[in-house]
Amino acid sequence: MEKQNCWEYKNCGREQGGAKVAELGVCPASTETKANGINNGINAGRACWAVAGTLCGGTVQGEYASKMQNCLACDFYTVVQDEEDDDYMLTKEILKKLS
């Protein structure tokens, strides 16, 4: 089974060329090249919780510290952890790559 990026899993339409880009803007997770390949994702597609400006519950989220509570409860976050198992990259390591 092919692993999905957040925009595929959530069907948010904010990926580059997505259906809701005009309305909501391009999601920074889909363009964050420093995170490419993390957790087997395209750009930050499987590390979206570490990127400011992603969408959650119809609202654009802010910086990591302010949004992490929502991300910890996200079904996609859990899926990535389960799928990656021992290869899952910890958030602190992701944040280092993004800085």
**Phi, psi angles (nearest 5°) of residue 87:** -90, 0
Domains of the chain: total: 1
**Is 1 within a domain?**
no
- What pTM did the predictor assign? 0.91
* Per-residue pLDDT, 62: 75
Domain that holds residue 41: 6-94
In a domain, 99, yes or no: no
The verdict on residue 51 lying in a domain is yes
Per-residue pLDDT, averaged over 31-53, amounts to 96
* Model confidence band, residue 37 (pLDDT cutoffs 50, 70, 90): very high
In angstroms, how far is CA 69 from the centroid of its own chain? 14
7 three-class SS: helix
Is 73 part of any domain? Answer: yes
Q: For residue 25, is it within any domain?
A: yes
Question: What CA–CA distances, in Å, run from 31 to 44, 47, 62, 73, 86?
Answer: 7, 12, 16, 24, 26
